[in-house]
């Protein structure tokens, strides 16, 4: 805090109240004492505000970490519930399909597995046919 100009204060008191004070007057010593007390109070208040601010920051970090954990747990639970519902839907659809067309499920799987083998056989047969035809004409 800025130091008071005691001469200026004494002049202001003389101008306003008509009382003349010297710079060593006890009244001005009380003003200086008040200034010192005010400076210490402001410093203590500033320290308290800084400590409170740090405490609030730490509490905010704790709340943020806790909220993150709670959010992660909720997301895991929702994902698990969604996975379970999807599996139940898949199982129900599979049961309906087996009840309505029990042979269809197996035949589609067989078709998908044997299709590449059949294509390979067709290509080989076609190649042999072309080679055989060239040998007859050549």
For 65-82, what is each residue's pLDDT tens digit? 888 888 888 888 888 888
What is the pLDDT at residue 25? 87
Q: Residue 109: inside a domain, yes or no?
A: yes
Full domain range(s) for residue 119: 104-138
Please indicate, yes or no, if residue 64 is contained in any of the structural domains.
Answer: no
CB 14 within 8 A of CB 20: yes
Q: What's the total number of domains in the chain? A: 1
The whole-model pTM stands at 0.44
Q: Is residue 130 part of a domain?
A: yes
Q: What is the structure's pLDDT at 109? A: 55
Query: What would you measure as the largest C-alpha separation in the chain, in angstroms?
Result: 140
Q: Is residue 79 part of a domain?
A: no
């Amino acid at each position: 805090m800025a130091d008071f100009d005691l001469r200026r204060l004494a002049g202001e008191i003389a101008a306003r109240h008509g009382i003349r004070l010297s710079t060593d007057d006890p009244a001005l010593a009380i003003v200086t004492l008040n200034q010192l007390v005010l400076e210490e109070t402001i410093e203590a208040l500033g320290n308290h505000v800084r400590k409170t601010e740090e405490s609030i920051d730490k509490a905010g970090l704790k709340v943020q970490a806790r909220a993150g954990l709670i959010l992660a747990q909720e997301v895991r639970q929702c994902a698990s519930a969604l996975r379970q519902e999807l599996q139940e839907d898949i199982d129900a659809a599979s049961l309906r399909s087996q009840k309505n067309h029990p042979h269809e499920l197996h035949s589609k799987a067989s078709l998908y597995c044997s299709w590449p083998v059949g294509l390979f056989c067709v290509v080989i047969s076609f190649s042999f046919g072309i080679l055989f035809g060239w040998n007859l004409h050549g």
